[in-house]
Each structure stands twice: as structure tokens, then as C-alpha cells.
Structure 1
Amino acid sequence: MSGHFVEFDGVCKYYQMGETRIAAADHISFTIEKGEFCVILGPSGAGKTTVLNMLGGMDTCDEGRIYLDGQEISAYSSKQLTTYRRYDVGFVFQFYNLVQNLTALENVELASEICKDPLPADETLRLVGLEHRMDNFPAQLSGGEQQRVSIARALAKNPKILLCDEPTGALDYNTGKQVLKLLQATCRQMGRTVIVITHNSALAAMADRVIRIKSGMVQSVEMNAEPIPVERIEW
């Protein structure tokens, strides 16, 4: 039983490449508290996405323990992991993964239909500033708007945690900043625990907690006493 909202305790994940065993996660340990905005930072191939996939229940660890909100999710069966992914975790990826023949509203409703305690789909679209785009199809929306729909879809599940893997990777600079501002506001105003994975070290300044990962290992964990609003950060 962990006293932290998120805890990785000596977590390892190995992949077999021919004769060689590669450690994508090599005894990773860190904690994240409820309501924090956390940035997990590291170069491509550092193991960031492996960490996110294990925390999101999309992948299992080979050693160590993973806890979320007092539950040891690393001990879950595949059936328990399915339930966990469905109810407890909101995902935002680099590519928006929207259903093309459904409107923005219908895309968000899809998520709320599978949940125990969802937020109204129209309400979450208002939260992300898309009340005037509810009846538009993805092809009629800009990249930034599509990413906002995917954030609304994740929020509609009313998840315990929001996991974002390079959420601005496909967006231009200004649009990317707007999306990050929205994620920061979601954390602050809704008290959500938001974890953003990125290779952009400038984003460290906007986080409460910064976990730096390199070669499958935690290099450092830093706390920012005063996180900076993303609109004041340049890169």
C-alpha cells in the first residue's frame, strides 16, 4: 500500500532483441502526488513511453511495483487492467485517434458511454473551448481543435489520471502552446493529476514535478515551487 497517488518502485521492463535483452525501464522509482502537473522528460528512446504505457495499463512490468491511488496495478490481471484503462485513465496521444465519421460531440460521447461516472460530453467540449464545434466532423477541424476534442474525450471519462504522450507533437508552436495551456488549466481548475511526456526540456518550467529519464533510468526528479504559465515559456 503506497501513500503516494502514483508510485513506481524499482520497475523494470525488458525486451528481447535477438540474443540481447534490452531494459526499456531499468529499476525506475518515482512518486507523483494527486493534482500535480508532472512532466516526464527525456530524449527519444529513453523509456518515457514505456513508463506511460505501464502506468496506463497498456503494458505490464517484469519487475517492481506500480501503484495508483492505493491500488497495486502491477498485480492486476489482464481483465482488471482492461477495467482500469476504461475507468481510471484518460489518454491523449500525439495523433488524435478520432473516429472520422462521428462529430466532435459523438466522439466524446463514445468515451462517456463506457464509464461509470462520466462528465457530460457537451460540458467537456465547453471546457476545452469547442462549444461552437460540437457538430463538426474531425475533417472540418484544425489539428489544434482535434487535439482539444481528444482532451475532452479523455476528460469525459472522469479519470483519476490524464496521461499525455507528446500531445503537441503534431501541432505548430502556437497551437501546441494553447493545448498545453489547456492541460495546465485542467490540472489546476479540475484538480486532475496530469502527466505529460515530452522531449522538449523547455516544458519543465510549467510543471510541479519534473522527472528526467535517460536510457531507461530516472536521472533526476525536481520540484518547481512556482511553475510558470506555459504562455511565458519560449522554445
Structure 2
Amino acid sequence: MAFVEFKDVTKYYQMGEVRIAAADGVTFSIEKGEFVIIVGPSGAGKTTVLNMLGGMDTCSGGSIELDGALISGYNSRQLTAYRRYDVGFVFQFYNLVQNLTALENVELASEICREPLPAEEVLREVGLTERMNNFPAQLSGGEQQRVAIARALAKNPKLLLCDEPTGALDYKTGKNILQLLQDTCRNTGRTVVVITHNQAFSAIADRVIRINSGKVVDMRCNPSPASAQTIEW
């Protein structure tokens, strides 16, 4: 049994008389500890898939399993616990609390978890030893994204989900953040899923899932993924 299993997953939205399929029979699997890129153009259904996997949205049909648990069968209370304990989220915009320091932002996540990692330790791991007591306004975009990643990792989640995590960053900083995510996956054995429209990211993944028009159009594994520092776009 794979760590993540999507089986014929659908998600429909009703817009007046029209029914729109954001996910139209999505099937894929992910193994534990893989670095996964889900790639596709804007409006392809990538974020819908991420939201369903992260328990932020429910599917209309099909089944979603994580680590042997049927997520698609959860009620709202179970989904809240799932989001809280099992999933770490990193978004394009950092969503930091502006009047808290980097350390306090990370500690915030630790407080809601069962077995959190020490906030100072995680900030050291993402290269922010000297910046722990700075407020978000005193940090660069790349540093703020590192805090956001540290906050997600401090929850000690089974799964790290990243939605366009380099979207608000310049080229060099974006590469550094990708390298950090790739290293995190390699060094901790944590399963990391990155959503992007950037095809170049495919080279660094263990597994690439291509989505278009709400369907998986291709899924393949890279026998030897590249380092994030070597790719160009």
C-alpha cells in the first residue's frame, strides 16, 4: 500500500446551472519519503488536489488515503485533527504573524501539535540561527519563507504540502528554498509535495505528476533526480 493513494477522485463545483469539474477522476500514488512535484498550468486542478490531500476541501467522489487512513471518509472534526497533526502547509505568501518574532511564529505551530519539534532547532536547520528574534518586517522574502517552512516542520507532520512556495521569490532565492525543501525530504525522510506551474522543477523530483483539465495526464519517477541548484528556468 502506497503512503498516499488517490483513486478516481472527483471534485465538482456548481455554478448556477453549470457543473465544473475541478478534479475529474484523479488517480495517483506517492511512496513515503518521496519528493513529489505536481505540475500543470494555471486552472489545471493542482491546488484542488492539494486542498483535498491536505484536508482543506472534500472530494465529490472516489477515495483519498494517507498512511492507511481513509481521509475522504473523515467528518469535519476528524479533518480538523488531520490538518492539525498530520499535515504541514507552505504557501506562496508566507502568512506570518507580523507582531511575533520568527521564533514565536514557529512556536505558535508547536503549541497545537502532539509531538512538535523544538522551534529553535528547526529554525537552525533552515539557516535562521541569527534571525530568530527578528520580526517578519525585518526579514527578506526568502527568510520569511524559511520561517514558514520551519513553522510547518515544527508540527512534525507526516506530510509537507507546498503550494507555489517560490512564487513570490526571485530566481536565486527560489532555488535556495527548493534546495531546502529537497534537503528536508532527504534528511528527514518526510514526504514532501510541491505544487507548481514551472516545468523545470520536474527534474528535481523523485516522482512527477502532471495534471491538466482536472486529470492526471502523466506520472513518472526520476531514477536520478537533479539537485535544485542545478536547474534553470
Instruction: Select which of 86, 89, 101 maps to 1:91.
Output: 89
Summarize deviations over 1:83-107 as a string: whole Å, max 9, x none: 0000000000000000000000000
* In structure 2, distance between residues paired with 1:86 and 1:231: 32
Structure 1 residue 103 corresponds to structure 2 residue 115 = no
Instruction: Select which of 176, 179, 194 maps to 1:178.
Output: 176
* In structure 2, distance between residues paired with 1:13 and 1:180: 29
Paired residue type of 1:84? Y
* In structure 1, distance between residues paired with 2:74 and 2:173: 38
- Quote how far apart the aligned CAs of 1:18 are: 1.9
* In structure 2, distance between residues paired with 1:41 and 1:17: 26
Paired residue type of 1:118? P
Instruction: Select which of 137, 161, 164 maps to 2:162.
Output: 164
- Quote how far apart the aligned CAs of 1:180 are: 0.2
* In structure 1, distance between residues paired with 2:224 and 2:129: 32
- Quote how far apart the aligned CAs of 1:206 are: 0.2
Instruction: Select which of 68, 71, 81 maps to 1:70.
Output: 68
State TM-score, norm by structure 2: 1.00
Summarize deviations over 1:50-87 as a string: whole Å, max 9, x none: 00000000000010000000000000010000000000
Equivalent runs, 1:1-235 vs 2, <5 Å: 3-235=1-233
Paired residue type of 1:87? Y
- Quote how far apart the aligned CAs of 1:170 are: 0.2
Paired residue type of 1:106? E
* In structure 1, distance between residues paired with 2:221 and 2:92: 26
Q: SS at the partner of 2:23?
A: strand
Q: SS at the partner of 2:137?
A: helix
Paired residue type of 2:177? V
Listed as ranges, the gaps of 5+ residues in structure 1 are: none
Paired residue type of 2:126? V
Q: SS at the partner of 2:162?
A: strand
* In structure 2, distance between residues paired with 1:81 and 1:132: 36
Listed as ranges, the gaps of 5+ residues in structure 2 are: none
- Quote how far apart the aligned CAs of 1:128 are: 0.1
* In structure 2, distance between residues paired with 1:102 and 1:64: 41
- C-alpha RMSD over aligned residues: 0.3
Size of the aligned set, in residue pairs, is: 233
State TM-score, norm by structure 1: 0.99
* In structure 1, distance between residues paired with 2:79 and 2:160: 16
Summarize deviations over 1:165-204 as a string: whole Å, max 9, x none: 0000000000000000000000000111000000000000
Runs of 4+ in 1 over 6 A off after TM superposition: none
